[in-house]
Amino acid sequence: MFSGIIEQTALVTQIKPSQAGITLDLKIDLNDDLALGESVACDGVCLTVTDWNRNEKRAQFFLSDETLTRSHFKNIKSQNLINIERSVKFGDRMSGHWVQGHVDGVGTVSSILKVGDSQELKITLPVNLKKYCVEKGSITVQGVSLTINSIEGDIVSLMIIPHTWTVTTLSQLALGSLVNIEVDILAKYVEKLTRAVTQ
């Protein structure tokens, strides 16, 4: 489980295709207590550490076909930067919202507008995801916990403060960029429970 508060960015150093998916090598500056089998959110996708070289600060993750289908990682390239968050520890402050790292789909950046010191980011969502979004509700974009300012059709508007813009990869987005989207899990549970009651 994650909170959507990004700890750092990491550089993609190598991508190794295989029949079952791809292996992703990252240059990542994490503490030495990173362990094999640990879950790390990479651009919002919960991935398992399959190899960790403490001396070279390189971590390796396997991406299955399912992960590639659901996320933007099918288009990932060497030298890309991605957002990194380690899993939440019990007792830590919950500064974002409950994020599973289970990406629901890929959105498209439709507008980036500077508003004062902040950036207004508009993202077109897959049609099947917009029903889970509400004004002032939570959404995860590239692993970043954000608040939905407004919704118009299938487009959500998000205001990115300078700190978030600086410490995450959101500042590298451009019109047409593909982004990983995870909607609020609570909305999906409410939908299922409501459907069960009404049937």
In a domain, 197, yes or no: no
Give yes or no: residues 109 and 182 share one domain. yes
In a domain, 100, yes or no: no
**Partners of 12 in the beta sheet?**
26
Burial code (b: 16+ CB inside 10 Å, e: under 16) for 148-179 equals beeeeebbbbbbbeeebbebbbbeebeeebbb
In a domain, 77, yes or no: yes
Give yes or no: residues 65 and 112 share one domain. no
Among residues 20, 24, 2, the alpha carbon closest in space to that of 73 is found at 24
Of the candidates 59, 86, 113, which is a domain's last residue?
86
| pLDDT score at 122 | 98
In a domain, 165, yes or no: yes
| pLDDT score at 8 | 93
Task: Using only the alpha carbons of the chain, give its radius of gyration.
Answer: 17
pTM of the prediction? 0.93
| pLDDT score at 60 | 95
Mark the ranges of the chain whose per-residue pLDDT is less than 50: none
Q: Hey, is 102 helix, strand or coil? A: coil
Number of domains the chain contains: 2
Of the candidates 86, 117, 137, which is a domain's last residue?
86
Give yes or no: residues 81 and 54 share one domain. yes
Among residues 182, 190, 124, the alpha carbon closest in space to that of 157 is found at 124
Beta strands in the chain (DSSP E): 8-17, 21-27, 39-42, 45-53, 58-64, 81-86, 105-115, 118-124, 138-141, 144-152, 155-160, 178-183
Give yes or no: residues 67 and 116 share one domain. no
Domain membership of residue 176 as a residue range: 105-188
Burial code (b: 16+ CB inside 10 Å, e: under 16) for 78-100 equals eebbbbbbbebeeeeeeebbbbe
Give yes or no: residues 78 and 116 share one domain. no
131-189 residue pLDDT tens:
999 999 999 999 999 999 999 999 999 999 999 999 999 999 999 999 999 999 988 88
In a domain, 98, yes or no: no
Distance CA 44, CA 149 (A): 20
Give yes or no: residues 78 and 109 share one domain. no
| pLDDT score at 199 | 64
| pLDDT score at 169 | 97
- CATH code for the domain in which residue 109 is found: 2.40.30.20
Residue 8 amino acid letter: Q
First to last CA, the chain: 32
| pLDDT score at 20 | 82
